[in-house]
Structures are given as C-alpha cells and as structure tokens.
Amino acid sequence: MSRAAVAIAHDYLTQRGGAERVVLTLMKAFPQAAVHTTLFDPDATYPEFAAADVRTSPINRFATLRRDHRLALPVLATAASRMRIDADVVVASSSGWAHGFETPGRTVVYCHNPARWLYQTDEYLGGSAWRSPLGPPMLALRPFLKRWDRRQAEQVDVYLANSRVVQRRIAATYGRDAELLPPPHGMDASAAREAVPEIACWEPGYALVVSRLLPYKNVDAVIEAVRGTGRRLVVVGRGPEEARLRATLPDNVRLLGGLSDAQLRTVYAGAGVLVAASHEDFGLAPLEAAAFGVPAVALRGGGFLETVLEGETGLFFDAPTPDHITAALDISDRQTWDGDRLRARAEEFGETRFIERIRAIVRDAGRST
C-alpha cells in the first residue's frame, strides 16, 4: 500500500468540543486523509465522524475506556506510542497524546494545550489533586508521563498554537517556537435549525453556557449566579460533573446534553448573552455566540482576551464567582449591543482562513520530506 500524502491524528474522539471541531475542519481541508485516534465513540462525539475513515488503537475495544478516556491514563502513552501512521505529513490535533503517534514522515502539531493534566494538574481536577479520586494515580504517573511527553515533542517538526497563551506554554514547556493559528469557530448561523423540546416554552433572551462539564469550567458558579433569581439559564454540555450539577439544579436552569448542531444553533439564536466562566486556552464559545449576534460575559484571562472585545462584543469579570458573574450580567443587560459588529467579529475567525493557512503549512512541510 502506498504512503498517504496527509493523515490526521487526534487524541481521542469520545466527546464534543472545540478540539473535535478542529478535526472536522481538518477533514474539510484534507478530504482524502484518514483520522487516527486512540479511542472512538461515535455516539459521544460529532455525528460527522461516523462516516469518516477513523483508525483506532487496540485499547479502543474496551468500552469503559471509550466512555471515560481519563480512565485510560495509565495506558495512553503506550497506546499513543504504538500508533503507526504511514503518511508524508501527519497533522496532529493534540492536547497531550496525538503528538506522540509514530510516523516516518513529517509531523505538524496543532496544539490546543500542552497536556493540562501534567502541567496544570490542580486546575484540571478542579482543586488539589490529592482530594480527587484521579489525583493520586495521576501524580504517581506524572514523572514518567512528563519524560514521555517531552521526548515525543522533540520529534515534532512544526508546532502551531491555537492562542497566544498556548504559544507561550509551548515555549516554556518544550522550548519550541510555534506559529499562532486561531481555530475556526465552525458555527454557521445561516444553516438549518431544529427545535429543542426542553426549552420550547422559553422566550428568547436567556443566558447560555456551552461547555464540557469539568471542574475547571466553573459551570457551577454560573448556576449559583442565577439561583433564586428571575434569570433563566441554559447549559449545554456533558461531562463528569453532570450528575452533581443535576442533583441541585434550580427550576430556572436547563441542562442539555447531546444536542445536534441544528439544535445548538437554535439555542444560540435564542440566547441573550453567553456566559464563559472557565479557564480557556482559546475563547471559542464567544465567537460561536457572536455569529448569532449574541454578546458574551467572560472571565478576564486566557483565550477570552483574544476573542472578546471589551465593550464591543462582550464584557469581562475578574473572578469565576457567582457575585462577579451576576454583576457582569447586570451590566450587560443595560448595554446596547451591535449585532452586525458581533457577527463581523465572528467572521474574522472563519473556517476559510484556517483551511487556507493549514494547507499552506502542510505543503511546506511536505516539501521537506
């Protein structure tokens, strides 16, 4: 079998999020490329992957690991190292594993963040690692995984960073320069929409959170900010925190998981404001909201500083606490937002720009083989 010109790699396809949307865009940029990943759960990620040429590692046969990739931590380094991709250029969408897949060709890594569980462990687990069930085994494995991570990073030919924050982390962690290439938001406001029964009786204008339900996303703080108030909140996402959040969910909050893109567009279109309280490397959700003319109130820090224009497309709050979030929402309510300006901001991060640049980078890398 002849070697492929381009292949795509990703850590695991077991959830829906910004990193997985980047892979969908890479598939548009390189439609003949196979997608290589450690774990693949078609029911848990975007439906477009079901029709793709997805190639997995041997650990994919374990359903428990597909359901929760964090349980695979002790074996993921080995699984990643044993992935073999026969291609001239591998484009790896990586948050810690896909940059370690083996290939005889060149590797271009689109880095969402150096492995958060290695270098920002407490933040990843939502507090002290010693108080989390996953913390002690993660800390025990960390010295080995750091050696593996840095060794694999040395083999990478080209690093790309999704934000200036990640650009600095790549330099600090790996001693590598990385070109800044913001990801596309991938949300087409003109595409078809589908009804969402859980909020069918709600008038437009609710607050919205779109996030994986992980401790560092601070979704609980947003819920507390609206508890006992007349403000309605829609939370779209899935993750380990779901059961805990649902256990005390107030009547003015709806928690929705597993929405189709058509339903997600409906939810965005009906929102009055997006709330982004998490520690993010790139502020994607505010751009998705902006495509629908919806402003954001966001945590002042990280990637949100690169996507939210204060006073034009959103406002910032200084700490992910209910009081700070409530105050920012109240100010946003009193402000008049320009829908055209919001949509223009989203267009600056459109898919066409990303595809053109990644194709050029891959062409240059291919000429060096």
The full set of domain ranges for the chain reads 4-184+350-367, 197-347
Question: pLDDT at residue 123 above 90?
Answer: no
Residues 6+ positions from 103 with CB-CB distance below 8 Å? 7, 84, 85, 86, 87, 90
* Structure tokens given for 92: 């790896």
Tell me which amino acid residue 40 is.
F
8 Å CB contact between 38 and 76: yes
* Structure tokens given for 109: 């890594």
Distance separating alpha carbons of residues 263 and 217, to the nearest angstrom: 22
Q: Which tops the pLDDT comparison, 74 or 336?
A: 336
What is the structure's pLDDT at 43? 92
Residues 6+ positions from 204 with CB-CB distance below 8 Å? 269, 270, 271, 272
In which region does residue 102 sit, left (phi positive, over 0), alpha (psi from -120 to 50) or beta (all else)? Answer: beta
CATH superfamily of 4-184+350-367: Glycogen Phosphorylase B; (3.40.50.2000)
pTM: 0.80
Question: pLDDT at residue 131 above 90?
Answer: no
Per residue in 158-199, pLDDT (tens digit) is 999 999 999 999 999 999 999 999 999 878 999 999 999 999
CATH superfamily of 197-347: Glycogen Phosphorylase B; (3.40.50.2000)
8 Å CB contact between 303 and 260: no
Question: pLDDT at residue 128 above 60?
Answer: no
Question: pLDDT at residue 120 above 80?
Answer: no
Question: pLDDT at residue 127 above 90?
Answer: no
Residues 6+ positions from 156 with CB-CB distance below 8 Å? 92, 99, 107, 108, 109, 176
What is the structure's pLDDT at 160? 98
Question: pLDDT at residue 356 above 70?
Answer: yes
Residues 6+ positions from 249 with CB-CB distance below 8 Å? 223, 255
What is the structure's pLDDT at 314? 98
Is the fold of 4-184+350-367 the same as that of 197-347? yes
Residues 6+ positions from 212 with CB-CB distance below 8 Å? 15, 17, 237, 238, 239
Per residue in 234-273, pLDDT (tens digit) is 999 999 899 999 999 999 999 999 899 999 999 999 999 9
What percent of the chain lies above the pLDDT cut of 90? 82
